[in-house]
Amino acid sequence: MTVLGLWTPVDNSPTALAISQAPWLESASVVLTTDLATADAIVAVFDHSPDAGQLEQLKSLAGNRPVLVAGAALAMSHARELHDYVGISISETVPALHDVRLRRGPALDPRGEGDLIVKSAWPIVDKIADDVEILATANVAFQDYAVITWRPTTAVGMFSLTSASELWSDRDITRTIQRWARYVRGITEASPVRVGLLAYGAIGHEHLSACLAVPGLELVAICDKSQARLDAALADAPQAMTTTDGNEMLNSDDIDLVIVSTPPDTHAMWALRALEAGKNVVMEKPMALTSNECDAVLDIARTVGRTALVYQNRRWDSDFLTMKKAVDAGRIGEMFHLETFVGGFGHPCNYWHSDASISGGAI
């Protein structure tokens, strides 16, 4: 988790407000704070040209923490002291918001996710100090211009894209800022987590799609007793190794994490085997059929120093989050009874889901 301090010398800064309301902070492993003493790095927002006193105040508050300067003042030609601080000079500003191709270097795109398309405008940087490192550029008239920088000698960087609310609502922009904060503190990205899918049933395709879509995950193996299901999986992940033998997958040195999506009465068994084989484990819900099985999985995970967790996707659905916010805010008073129903007019399921000895029964 990266703790970013948010600072601005004035009240009611629209850019600071947009940053504070960015919807993807948690998913990008970012926590915002106004207590700069607890921050890993600081985002300093200047919507107006600062005076020397405001810059000195920022430097004093920041101490040795890295500072990323953002805000409209970067595009103001008369903000000379701010430009000198970050190590640039500007000639003009791209005047209108339009689609921009943001080209991130390896420091901000370590996994090769590619360019970002965002709607923004930015100052044209025509000179850069020798000690400034360019981390990302935007292109105008076939020429790249610096828009994200880092200056180690003064521990300051620049984020010059105009900070409209829709820009800070972009998930990849939030992740880029988080990566900036890690890079400037010398933290490198970990190697991709190599994933094996244990069972490719009704939920298998969802796990496969997530592994392919999430940066940092690499799907390397799929196991199922049905060759037809494996063939279906290979259509979307042709690079994956397939097997009908679960133990073969667990014994592979090429796998870091196993997703257990077998029927619930076997969740604990396969999770225990995976943990004992040195793998981290994500278990489909329910975790197991008894509390003793759950405790056994957690005990082994602690013993071998691996992670075991349950895939609780519904907790992030908008209806669940809305109900949780209402309860937490006390809007419905003290809750003492809950009734809930999910279903339709047909039989809920004619497969093992309706067999309590396998599924554990409905809640």
In CATH, what number does 193-315 get? Answer: 3.40.50.720
pLDDT at 239 over 90: yes
> Hey, do 2-183 and 193-315 end up sharing a CATH topology, with the first three levels equal?
yes
Q: 157-185, pLDDT tens digit by residue?
A: 999 998 666 788 888 999 999 999 999 99
Q: 242-253, pLDDT tens digit by residue?
A: 999 999 999 999
* Residue bearing the bigger pLDDT, 145 or 358: 145
Q: What is the pTM of this model?
A: 0.69
Q: How confident is the model at residue 349 (pLDDT cuts 50, 70, 90)?
A: low
CA separation for the pair 221, 138 (Å, rounded): 38
The b-or-e profile of 18-49 (16+ CB within 10 A means b, else e) is bbeebebbeebebebeeebeebbbbbbbbbeb
Domain 2-183 has CATH 3.30.200.20: no
Q: What mean pLDDT comes out for the span 253-267?
A: 96
* Residue bearing the bigger pLDDT, 148 or 343: 148
Position 350 scores a pLDDT of: 62
Averaged pLDDT of the chain: 90
The b-or-e profile of 65-80 (16+ CB within 10 A means b, else e) is bbbbbbbbbbbbeebe
Position 363 scores a pLDDT of: 58
Position 94 scores a pLDDT of: 62
Position 348 scores a pLDDT of: 59
Position 342 scores a pLDDT of: 67
Q: 288-309, pLDDT tens digit by residue?
A: 999 999 999 999 999 999 999 9
Q: What mean pLDDT comes out for the span 9-23?
A: 90
For the chain, first and last CA: distance in Å? 34
Q: How confident is the model at residue 58 (pLDDT cuts 50, 70, 90)?
A: very high
pLDDT at 63 over 80: yes
Report the percent of the chain where pLDDT is more than 70. 95
Q: What mean pLDDT comes out for the span 307-325?
A: 87
Ranges of each domain in the chain: 2-183, 193-315
Least confident piece of the model among 43-57, 213-227, 325-339, 340-354? 340-354
